[in-house]
Structures are given as C-alpha cells and as structure tokens.
Amino acid sequence: MRTLRASEIGAYLFCQRAWWYAKSGFPSENQAEMAAGSQIHSEHGRQVVGIGCLQAAGYLLLLLALALFVVYLTGLLV
C-alpha cells in the first residue's frame, strides 16, 4: 500500500487532471514558474531561520538585562 502525502491530496483537490498528469509522469509545462516558486520558498525559509535567531538573541538580552537589574537592586540593599 502506497502512502499518500498531504501535498498529493492538495494537488488532487486543486485539480484532479493536473494530479493525474503528475502521477503519470508527464512533465509540467510551467517549469520556470515552479523553479521561481522553489526559490521564493528557499528565501522564505532562510528568513524564518534568521528571525528565529534574532528572537532568541532578543530573549537572551532580555534575560541578561533582568539579571543585571537584580544585581543592581541587591547592590542598593546591601
């Protein structure tokens, strides 16, 4: 039994004929558009990773600022 992937189901729901062509091995006529779409997806993936790193750095800086604030307050109390 073959495993169905979510992308296959989405392709079938979008256009059954295009799904059948892809399943039968017919080459797509819009190779340039598909390559451009893959490029856009790659760029978006890099942006998501970069934003995740910036967010982690922001949390780290916030934690550092909080720690320095606690050290400052304990210095005032002593």
What pLDDT does residue 49 have?
Answer: 98
Q: Is the pLDDT of residue 30 over 80?
A: yes
**Contact (Cβ atoms closer than 8 angstroms) between residue 11 and residue 19:** yes
pLDDT grade for 4, boundaries at 50, 70 and 90 = confident
- Evaluate whether residue 47 is within a structural domain: yes
**Contact (Cβ atoms closer than 8 angstroms) between residue 11 and residue 24:** no
Counting the structural domains of the chain, the total is 1
What pLDDT does residue 48 have?
Answer: 97
- Evaluate whether residue 53 is within a structural domain: yes
Range of the domain at 10: 6-77
- Evaluate whether residue 43 is within a structural domain: yes
Separation of alpha carbons 37 and 24, rounded Å = 22
What pLDDT does residue 28 have?
Answer: 83
Please state the rounded mean pLDDT for residues 45-73: 97
- Evaluate whether residue 1 is within a structural domain: no
What pLDDT does residue 35 have?
Answer: 92
Separation of alpha carbons 48 and 44, rounded Å = 6
pTM (two decimals):
0.59
